[in-house]
Amino acid sequence: MPAFRAYTARNLHEIPQLAGRSADDLLQLRAVAAVLPFRTNRHITDELIDWDDVEHDPIYRLIFPAPEMLDPADLATMTKLLRDDAPAERVAAEARDIRRRLNPHPGGQLSLNVPDDGDRPLDGLQHKYAETVLFFPGPGQMCHAFCTYCFRWAQFVGDPDLRMAGNDPEVLCGYLRRHPEVTDVLITGGDPMVMRTEVLARYLEPLLAAGLETVRTIRIGTKAVSHWPYRFVTDPDADELCRLFERVVASGRQLAVMAHYSHPRELAPAVAGEAVRRIRATGASVYAQAPLIRGVNDDPETWRRLWRTGLDLGVVPYYMFVERDTGPRNYFEVPLARGWQIFREAWSQMSGLGRTAKGPVMSATPGKVLVDGVTEAAGRRLFALRYVQARDPALVGRPFFADYDPEATWFDQLTPAFGEHREFFRPA
Ligand SMILES: *Cc1c(COP(=O)(O)O)cnc(C)c1O
């Protein structure tokens, strides 16, 4: 039962498996880590990464910076600053400039989704789809390890203008009382499971109070199930956490742990299976979702095994996301057409109980767009698309079409195939 200890840009030279790296290699790692947040821990370095084939290792790519993640000119500038031992403020200023060019808040998250209910925006809330409110508790804006492709990376770079967070659970509860149409609350981050149980309880328990019976499902978005499964098993307050989950379930609500699993290997250590078993024993459900990432999980067999291994543990396959248009997207993106092939090949090998998976799905500004497939009609190649969520509920569930483009990687690169489908492409 190891105690948690993080490796970051500051102490990455202490990672034993990096001992053989050249000074130049380490300098490049540090240069990328100065811009894109880097953090890992011993469960990942010792249990998940295969260091014998680290060049191609999916978990290594998921966690460790690579020089290709930055534009070559930015990488050169950053490397030079570090090599010259430039003052910390100079390095930080350069990092800020580079970040602002990396589209830190895709989909208009800061401007379009934060509700105001009167005169000022409500900190830490996002309300994009009628039924579901997202809450970002201040102390949960951290993770046990960072994924290099994270679409919420701006939460971790210490720049308050780029960050969403709320410290007052009463702001959330007040909003929910005024909005009885909201049935689902998603506690997210960051990762709420970095909070000690006692702190998490401060955000969860007010939701169980009289007057909030309209909230039927509480979801917790987390990668701790794979990056630090001990959180649910042997951490000092792991048992207390299970009791907290039981109280949520006993209130008559559904508790859903939205588990971010990128690769079946994350479920291989015994402690990862035990984490799922303990969560489910509280009456909570576990759903698996992740983005499709080049070099990490961009093949059908990986998804088939991920869903199959999950199902054996009672984990329900949920979204396969398309990597968002932020951060080092060029390094990670997979064309939509390829994404659909991967999804289809994996999905078609599941029994119906595994076909709960939906994907590939783009979380775009107007809503979540599902790529239903590539098809031919009227002598043309088309993408068949469908909103599975939309800011404008009138768009949900209706098929529409875009011109086929084998290279397209995001919704804004698609054009309506038919004039009458233009309404689906307008930002809401
Ligand atoms: C994905 C998402 C949700 C949840 O959508 P479901 O389809 O209910 O899982 C809610 N809000 C935002 C902003 C989202 O991106």
Percent with pLDDT over 70 in the chain = 96
User: How far does residue 173's CA lie from ligand 1's centre (Å)?
Assistant: 19
pLDDT at 28 over 80: yes
CB of 129 within 6 A of ligand 1: the answer is yes
CB of 217 within 6 A of ligand 1: the answer is no
Instruction: Confirm whether pTM is higher than 0.85.
Output: yes
Tell which residue, 131, 136, 129, has the closest CA to residue 152: 136
Spell out the domain ranges in the chain.
6-100
| Most informative mutation of 179, 389, 396 for ligand 1 (most atoms within 8 A of CB) | 389
CA distance 57 to 54: 5
- At 1 the pLDDT is 67
User: How far does residue 149's CA lie from ligand 1's centre (Å)?
Assistant: 19
The closest residue, in CA terms, to atom 5 on ligand 1 is 389
User: How far does residue 409's CA lie from ligand 1's centre (Å)?
Assistant: 20
User: How far does residue 235's CA lie from ligand 1's centre (Å)?
Assistant: 30
Q: Tell me the mean pLDDT in the region 102-108.
A: 76
CB of 340 within 6 A of ligand 1: the answer is no
- pLDDT, tens digit, 9 for 90 and up, residues 109-166: 666 788 877 767 888 999 999 999 999 999 999 999 999 888 778 777 766 655 678 8
The residue length of the chain stands at: 428
- At 54 the pLDDT is 93
- pLDDT, tens digit, 9 for 90 and up, residues 339-361: 999 999 999 999 999 999 999 99
| Index of the ligand 1 atom closest to the CA of residue 184 | 8
| Index of the ligand 1 atom closest to the CA of residue 134 | 11
User: How far does residue 389's CA lie from ligand 1's centre (Å)?
Assistant: 7
CB of 128 within 6 A of ligand 1: the answer is yes
Q: Are the CB atoms for 175 and 227 separated by under 8 Å?
A: no
CB of 389 within 6 A of ligand 1: the answer is yes
- pLDDT bin (cut points 50, 70, 90) of residue 6 is very high
| Most informative mutation of 129, 361, 396 for ligand 1 (most atoms within 8 A of CB) | 129
Residues 298, 302, 307, CA angle at the centre, nearest 5°?
120
Q: Tell me the mean pLDDT in the region 73-85.
A: 95
- pLDDT, tens digit, 9 for 90 and up, residues 212-251: 999 999 999 999 999 999 999 999 999 999 999 999 999 9
- At 149 the pLDDT is 86
Q: Please, what is the average pLDDT of the chain?
A: 93
CB of 309 within 6 A of ligand 1: the answer is no
pLDDT at 108 over 80: no
- At 428 the pLDDT is 58
- At 427 the pLDDT is 67
pLDDT at 402 over 90: yes
Q: Are the CB atoms for 208 and 253 separated by under 8 Å?
A: yes
- pLDDT bin (cut points 50, 70, 90) of residue 265 is very high
pLDDT at 260 over 80: yes
The closest residue, in CA terms, to atom 12 on ligand 1 is 128
- At 387 the pLDDT is 98
- pLDDT, tens digit, 9 for 90 and up, residues 371-398: 999 999 889 999 999 999 999 999 999 9
CB of 387 within 6 A of ligand 1: the answer is no
- pLDDT bin (cut points 50, 70, 90) of residue 48 is very high
| Index of the ligand 1 atom closest to the CA of residue 389 | 7
Q: Tell me the mean pLDDT in the region 297-301.
A: 98
Q: Are the CB atoms for 271 and 238 separated by under 8 Å?
A: no
| Index of the ligand 1 atom closest to the CA of residue 318 | 9
Q: Are the CB atoms for 361 and 388 separated by under 8 Å?
A: yes
User: How far does residue 239's CA lie from ligand 1's centre (Å)?
Assistant: 29
SS (H, E, C) the chain: CCCCCEEECCCHHHCHHHCCCCHHHHHHHHHHHHHCCCEEEHHHHHHHCCHHHHHHCHHHHHHCCCHHHCCHHHHHHHHHHHHCCCCHHHHHHHHHHHHHCCCCCHHHHHHHCCCCCCCCCCCCEEEEECCEEEECEHHHCCCCCCCCCCCCHHHHCCCHHHCCCECCHHHHHHHHHHCCCCCEEEECCCCHHHCCHHHHHHHHHHHHCCCCCCCCEEEEEECHHHHCHHHHCCCCCHHHHHHHHHHHHHCCCEEEEEEECCCHHHHCCHHHHHHHHHHHHCCCEEEEEEEECCCCCCCHHHHHHHHHHHHHCCEEEEEEEECCCCCCHHHHCCCHHHHHHHHHHHHCCCCHHHCCCEEEEEECCCEEEEEEEEEEECCEEEEEEEEEEECCHHHECCCEEEECCCCCCCHHHCCECCHHHHHHHCCC
- pLDDT, tens digit, 9 for 90 and up, residues 309-343: 999 999 999 999 999 887 788 889 999 999 999 99
CB of 188 within 6 A of ligand 1: the answer is no
- pLDDT, tens digit, 9 for 90 and up, residues 159-185: 665 567 889 999 999 999 999 999 999
